[in-house]
Amino acid sequence: MKTDEGKLIDIEMQNSALTKEVHYRFQIYGSRMIDHQVNRGDLLYSENVHEVYTILFVNDIDRDNLLLIDTYMPRNQLNHVRKYNLLTHHNVYLPFIDAVVREKGSKIELAIYTLYHGITDDIMALNSEVVIMMKEKMDQFNEDEELVLAASKRQLVKIQHHQEKVRIRQEGKEEGELLKAKENTLMLFKSKYPQEDILMLENLTLSQYNEIFKALIENKDLQIIKEMIK
């Protein structure tokens, strides 16, 4: 999103651990958001570049920084923030939010609590201006067919990408198992029947290779093995 002042904000909710890869990804996101504002040959950066904020809501905690909101900005050795800093990142550690709100949280903390749990009866019973505002925003969103459709499409694309990654990983695993079973079977077959043509053992299934390997271990007759190949 882009604010009225031109500031660019990237927000994501991550229902997982805050791994090294997630840390890397959000640093890259922020850097790209700065880089994409500048074209080659630009001379007056100050006229084209706006501050960038990345906000990560993550279902994890940082045991080295036990805070609800942890803010990162480049600093020097004297702990002074870089002048004219363009990139600020916030980690919001959601597991902290229940305890914070029980201790009468601030408006921003209550907003995070509502984001985390949704508009429930308990939250509406708080009768807070923050909750009422967020409920109104949610109703506006649900009444906008284009926004709802865009969100649905985005979710479907994310599901599709996840399923594709799972499929590729599974195919890679199966291919590795097939190659290993084939190599083991060929090696044992050649040691037992060095005069036989091993071309008959090409292009078999994983199940066939496993069955043939077992038969070779059990010293089954060559004719039985050939029948298994057929």
- pLDDT tens digits, one per residue of 84-140: 999 999 999 988 887 777 666 788 888 888 878 788 777 777 777 888 888 888 888
Question: If pLDDT is split at 50, 70 and 90, which confidence band does 43 have?
Answer: low
- The vertex-45 CA angle with 41 and 51, nearest 5°, equals 135
DSSP type of residue 218: T
Q: Would you state the pLDDT for residue 83?
A: 92
Contact between 123 and 101 (Cβ < 8 Å): no
Question: If pLDDT is split at 50, 70 and 90, which confidence band does 40 have?
Answer: low
pLDDT digits (tens, 9 = 90+) for 170-212: 878 888 888 888 888 888 888 888 888 888 888 888 888 888 8
Q: Determine the Cα–Cα distance for residues 187 and 155; give it in Å rounded to an integer.
A: 48
Using alpha carbons, select from 17, 75, 93, 27 the residue that is nearest to residue 54: 27
* Local structure of 117: helix, strand or coil: helix
Contact between 60 and 18 (Cβ < 8 Å): yes
The residue length of the chain stands at: 230
pLDDT digits (tens, 9 = 90+) for 156-165: 877 887 788 7
Q: Would you state the pLDDT for residue 53?
A: 94
Pick the more confident residue, 220 or 104. Answer: 220
Contact between 50 and 7 (Cβ < 8 Å): yes
Q: Would you state the pLDDT for residue 44?
A: 66
Pick the more confident residue, 54 or 135. Answer: 54
A 10 A CB-CB count for 93 gives 21
Helix/strand/coil percentages in the chain, nearest 5: 55, 10, 30
Question: If pLDDT is split at 50, 70 and 90, which confidence band does 42 have?
Answer: low
Q: In the predicted model, what is the mean pLDDT of residues 143-149?
A: 83
Q: Would you state the pLDDT for residue 148?
A: 81
pTM of the model: 0.54
């057929």: which residue's tokens? 230
